[in-house]
Amino acid sequence: MNSVPLLTITRRILTFFRLTSYPVWIGLSLLLVLLLLVPQLKTTATQVPLTVTEQAYLSAHPVLSVCVDPDWLPFEGIDSHQKHVGIIADLLSLMASKVGLKIQLHPTKNWEESLMASKSGQCLALSALNQTPEREQWLIFTEPLLEDPNVLITRDDHPFISDIASLTHKTIALPRGTAMAELFARDFPHLTIVYTDSETQAMQMVSDGKVDLTLRSLIIAAHTIKNAGWYNLKVSGQVPGYGNQFRIGISQSEQTLRTILNHGIAALSEQERQQIMDRYLNLKVVSEVVTDYTLAYGLGILLLAVIGTSLFWMRRLSALNQQLSVTAQTDALTQLTNRHGLNLTLEKDLERAQRYQHPLSIIMMDIDHFKRVNDQYGHLTGDKVLVQCSQILKDNLRKSDIICRWGGEEFLVLCFETSQEQASHLAELLLEKVRQHYFTEVGRVTMSAGVAQAMPQDNAETLTKRADTVLYKAKHQGRDRVCVGQDNLDSMADILNTFAKTDN
């Protein structure tokens, strides 16, 4: 925008307010807003520099056909005029303008139809979706266009959920065809999934008591609960590692297009992203020229009511999430640190030990034949065994050691300033303490352990995997023993194939 048109607009604004009965300060305010927007308009118009190959591609393919989720507001939707609207729509439009690309909507009736249209080649891209192994069969993905954590939504009387893996005999409503539905079906087989046609239907089923919980975007959870009047719902937990990273999915042959879109995504500033988010998640006030101020006063009162309601829900969600952050790192049954809590510090502890060349070892422990305990004595007795085992281990560790419930009947002990040999001795001591204990109803219980010391090239994943591998080796060799990590260990596949021939 150059100075000549801006000067013309300024004159017209001041003339209009001079010839009408409106206060001049309103005209000056409007002019100030216009001047503040000029730098942003210039920034938006700036395009990203592209290579000759990328420019040639855009010359040959200036239009990108896109399939979207038509019923996923405020993220995205298709309005009555068959127009793509919502947060994703605005981000996509802004990103496309930065690389000189035109977006063309391929309308569909629902998300499943959009997936089918993408698979059949009717549209070249899907606007925003999580990357999953199933979708990688026909799509390649850009960098995240928008990142957003998910939270668990339950009725108000449901207890907080610190570890979703500990839930049993629960039902969860998830929209069919979504990434979270695919991942939860794979990773949480103990949950019964009820598939729905939309997120709104999933929330309604929780509100009506037809299912126990659902998964919802944190960004819009409070917004949706308030607007739909679901005051009997609350945020009851998070599922670490299952947040949303919305990427553009493109047909596998379009490598050059993915590079171009990544340029546009990288050019989106945090300020631009936040402005788009605020446009949909905050109240929008539209001014129009009126001579009767009664409507304006009414809107002002309504605005105050909405702001008051929003502040109430923000404070309530803040309190809920504060309580959640305290319980999210603790296992509800054993009161030990849970896997999420240990993962928050394990990588840093490992890096510190490697940097200063200090020994650090881990012990992976598992209760032998725990499935038999549950099958023969019931899950309540099994829970008592887990609690007693955790207390025995905790009572016999050093003050510097950290123990967590790794999952199910597995425990992990993090040993600082401890070599593999020293950790092996400690593991033998712990196993002996468990052997000597008499468990009510069950009698004697044994445990197996795998020990691994951190190597210079290790990260948290490789270190825990090596410990888990030698734990399975201890199981294979007869249980009730300690195995130590070695460079020439049998492969995990060989151990699991042999171990599968016996029960747990």
List, by residue number, the catalytic residues.
Answer: 409
| Rounded distance between C-alpha atoms, residue 420 and residue 453, angstroms | 5
Q: Is the dihedral of CA 65, 71, 76, 81 positive or negative?
A: positive
The tokens describing 147, both together, are: 């990142």
Residue 245 bridge partners (DSSP): 147
Q: At what angle do helices 339-355 and 460-476 cross, to 10 degrees?
A: 110
Q: Give Cα separations from 232 to 158, 159, 217 (angstroms).
A: 10, 13, 18
Dihedral (C-alpha) 231, 237, 238, 244: value to the nearest 10 degrees? -10
- CA atoms of 216 and 150, how far apart (whole Å): 5
Residue 502 CB-density burial (10 A; 0-12 exposed, 13-18 middle, 19+ buried): exposed
Q: Would you say the C-alpha torsion 48, 49, 53, 56 has a positive or negative sign?
A: positive
3-state secondary structure of 405: strand
Burial of 473 (0-12, 13-18, 19+ CB in 10 A): buried
* Both structure tokens of 312: 């109430």
Query: What residues contact residue 206 under an 8 Å CB cut-off, 6+ apart?
Result: 153, 154, 155, 173, 212, 213, 214, 233
**Looking at this protein, which amino acid is placed at residue 253?**
S
Length of the chain: 504
The burial class, CB within 10 Å (0-12 / 13-18 / 19+), for 450 is buried
| Token pair for 489 | 């260990």
- CA 326 – CA 218 distance, rounded (Å): 18
